[in-house]
């Protein structure tokens, strides 16, 4: 069922994963233009046509949120609270700290940290409503000190609504897709605009974020989800389970194993076939495994690491911790065989909102730093300014900016 390939074919398959969004961009342009021009009228029209809003209010009423929280089972409430505590603990450790100190006599430099005023959290709720994504975005924003957090989700489940109320978030809208992204970017009569939009979505959500990235802050563009596992040896049951956990997301999800052991490759392939027989999401997982996933047998682990760095996967499962210093590109690393990727999806602490499609070459996953501004601060004494004056005036005049030079020289006149 799942292919076992060599190095050349593995490189070719991974390169083909970095595709174009042209079709999705063409589809969402009219939606974005309509929301910009018509505001609520277009937003409601698309919410009814595409999101199944029907006659329900666009903004979820407070009493519905209260009811959703009260209906959470004790097990889900406990799990959510544990996850929130772990996410918040990690987010607090990630939060940039302010600094202001003397770098040289009379030259004090530093930075202040200020939260964004408003963020929009996009929470998918299609085939699989994801309350975990609400936690993995909103808790970071809260930790950073963001005052206004609004959530858009096309068909929010009771768990999504209950978890939002548990966090004290009451601005939730039943809208998704490009129309939600456009509303958050431009603002409408019902939804005020935000400073940044975060959270994963389908190809149309990603295309809308890309087209609007010059008008509103975004986290990154999220495409089909990915896991790449590097293992010379290991328990075939565990590796197969991790691959199936990724494959069940969507037919376009990618689950890849790179190994130097052909016997491990065959054992994992057989274990996948065994485990999928009892998997409720087998239809989706099987398509992912057949169309977007593979196992590659490579000559050395050095080759495997090089290929992993080239692909820059969203999730990198590294069974041998000693290889970590060689890793340059990954959205998140799961170190050692016991670090199941599912733990990161729900409760370990780091956010599961991660770059895909090679974007991990540029950045890691969502963090509290995405919800703050780091503003530089400079304070110079008279003597410190005079010490820098020759450097400043020389460079200013080299650029033809005479007033810049004079702004320093005038301060030397008593």
Residues involved in catalysis: 314-315
Annotate 61-127 with DSSP letters as a single string. Answer: PHHHHHHHHHTS-HHHHHHHHHHHHHHHHHHHHHSPPPEEEEEETTEEEEEEEEE-SEEEEE---SS
Element (H, E) at 408: helix 402-409
The token pair that represents 229 in the structure block: 């596992």
Locate all alpha helices (DSSP H) within 337-381, ordered by sequence.
Answer: 341-346
Q: Taking Cα atoms as reference points, which of 106, 100, 99, 109 lies closest to residue 388?
A: 106
Phi, psi of 250 (to 5 degrees): -170, 155
Residue 35 — φ and ψ, nearest 5°?
-65, -35
Q: Sheet harboring 254-259: ordered strands across?
A: 3-5, 294-297, 254-259, 226-230, 315-318, 332-335
| Contact of 152 with 165, CB cutoff 8 Å | no
State the Cα–Cα distance between residues 262 and 232, nearest whole angstrom.
10
The C-alpha angle with vertex 287 and arms to 284 and 292, in degrees rounded to 5, equals 120
Q: Which residues contact 299 (CB under 8 A, 6 or more apart)?
A: 7, 260
To 5 degrees, how large is the angle CA 389–CA 391–CA 396?
A: 95
Q: What are phi and psi of 125, to 5 degrees?
A: -150, 40
5 Cβ neighbours under 8 A, 6+ residues apart: 13, 294, 295, 296, 297
């Amino acid at each position: 069922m799942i292919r076992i390939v060599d190095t050349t074919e593995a490189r070719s398959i991974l390169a083909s994963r970095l595709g174009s969004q042209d079709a999705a961009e063409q589809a969402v342009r009219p939606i974005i233009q309509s929301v910009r021009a018509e505001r609520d009228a277009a937003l409601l029209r698309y919410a009814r046509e595409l999101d199944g809003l029907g006659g329900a209010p666009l903004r979820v009423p407070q009493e519905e949120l209260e009811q959703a929280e009260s209906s959470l089972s004790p097990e889900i409430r406990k799990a959510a609270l544990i996850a929130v505590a772990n996410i918040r603990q990690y987010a607090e450790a990630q939060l940039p700290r302010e600094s202001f100190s003397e770098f040289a006599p009379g030259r004090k430099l530093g930075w202040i940290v200020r939260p964004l005023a408003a963020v929009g959290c996009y929470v998918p709720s299609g085939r699989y409503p994801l309350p975990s994504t609400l936690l993995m975005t909103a808790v970071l924003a809260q930790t950073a000190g963001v005052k206004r957090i609004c959530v858009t989700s096309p068909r929010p489940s009771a768990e999504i609504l209950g978890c939002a109320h548990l966090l004290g978030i009451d601005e939730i809208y039943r809208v998704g897709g490009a129309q939600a992204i456009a509303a958050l970017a431009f603002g409408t009569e019902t939804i005020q605009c935000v400073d940044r939009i975060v959270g994963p979505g389908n190809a149309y959500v990603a295309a809308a974020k890309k087209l609007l990235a010059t008008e509103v802050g975004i986290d990154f563009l999220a495409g089909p989800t990915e896991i790449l596992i590097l293992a010379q040896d290991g328990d075939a049951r565990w590796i197969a389970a991790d691959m199936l956990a990724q494959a069940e997301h969507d037919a376009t999800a990618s689950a890849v194993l790179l190994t130097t052991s052909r016997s491990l490759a065959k054992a994992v392939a057989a274990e996948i076939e065994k485990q999928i027989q009892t998997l409720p999401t087998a239809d989706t997982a099987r398509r992912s495994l057949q169309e977007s996933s593979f196992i590659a047998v490579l000559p050395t682990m050095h080759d495997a690491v090089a290929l992993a760095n080239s692909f820059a996967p969203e999730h990198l499962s590294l069974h041998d911790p000693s290889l970590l210093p060689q890793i340059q590109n990954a959205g998140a690393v799961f170190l050692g065989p016991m670090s199941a990727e599912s733990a990161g999806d729900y409760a370990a602490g780091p956010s599961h909102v991660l770059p895909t499609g090679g974007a991990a070459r540029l950045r890691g996953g969502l963090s509290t730093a995405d919800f703050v501004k780091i503003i530089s601060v400079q304070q110079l004494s008279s003597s410190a300014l005079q010490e820098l004056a020759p450097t400043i005036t020389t460079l200013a005049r080299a650029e033809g900016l005479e007033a810049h030079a004079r702004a320093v020289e005038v301060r030397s006149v008593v």
